[in-house]
Amino acid sequence: MAAKQMSSERLKHYEELIKQELKDSVAYIEKINRDQSIGARESSGDLSSYAFHQADQGSDTNLMEQTVMMMEQEREKIRLLNDALNRIYDGVYGNCETCGELIQETRLDVIPYARNCFDCTEKMEDKKRRQRR
Ligand SMILES: [Zn+2]
């Protein structure tokens, strides 16, 4: 079975898209790191005791936890974007890892690092939901 391949114009388009998103994510993390280190210096200079003291104060804690969570999501996204970039260079980008069909472009435009098509993602989430019960 010959693998379906995305046209080189589309590949180029997604390569640019992925590189742009990578740049945004890295800039975002750098910005937060800057903000965080300023905040830490202004309190005790030690990030762990900073977090500890904040734990008594409610809303600031939530903000801190949110920031940490967003940082983790962003780091994960960078990992996925780098993966996707490698798949472009390997010539396997755009193919669903489960069924081998091309991933819908409407999906890739929103999630350029998607590894599975709509249908397979739905099926997987379905399975996960059922296993949880
Ligand atoms: Zn699929």
Question: How many domains, the chain?
Answer: 2
Instruction: Please check whether residue 121 lies inside any domain of the structure.
Output: yes
Residue 28 has pLDDT above 70, yes or no: yes
Distance 97 CA to ligand 1 centre (A): 7
pLDDT band at 1 (very low <50, low <70, confident <90, very high): very low
- Whether 29 shows a pLDDT value over 90: the answer reads yes
Tokens of 27: 């800039």
CB 93 within 8 A of CB 73: no
Q: How many CB atoms lie within 10 A of CB 58?
A: 9
- Distance, CA 107 to ligand 1 centroid (Å)? 12
Task: Calculate how far, in angstroms, residue 111's C-alpha sits from the geometric centre of ligand 1.
Answer: 15
Instruction: Verify that 84 and 32 share a domain, yes or no.
Output: yes
Domain holding 58, by residue range, is 7-93
Residue 2: inside a domain: no
Q: How far is the CA of 95 from the centre of ligand 1 (A)?
A: 8
| 85 C-alpha to ligand 1 centroid (Å) | 19
Residue 103 and residue 55 in one domain: no
- Check whether residue 27 and residue 86 sit in a common domain: yes
What is the CA(38)–ligand 1 centre distance, in A? 46
Whole-angstrom distance, CA of residue 5 vs CA of residue 102? 7
* Residues around the ion ligand 1 (C-beta < 5 A): 96, 98-99, 117, 120
- Distance (angstroms) between ligand 1 centre and the Cα of 9 equals 22
98 and 72 share a domain? no
Q: What is the pLDDT of residues 101-119, one digit of tens each?
A: 999 999 999 999 999 999 9
Best CA proximity match to 93, nearest among 4, 2, 16, 1: 4
User: Over pLDDT 70: what percentage of the chain?
Assistant: 80
pTM for the model: 0.74
Tell me, yes or no, whether 35 and 21 share the same domain. Answer: yes
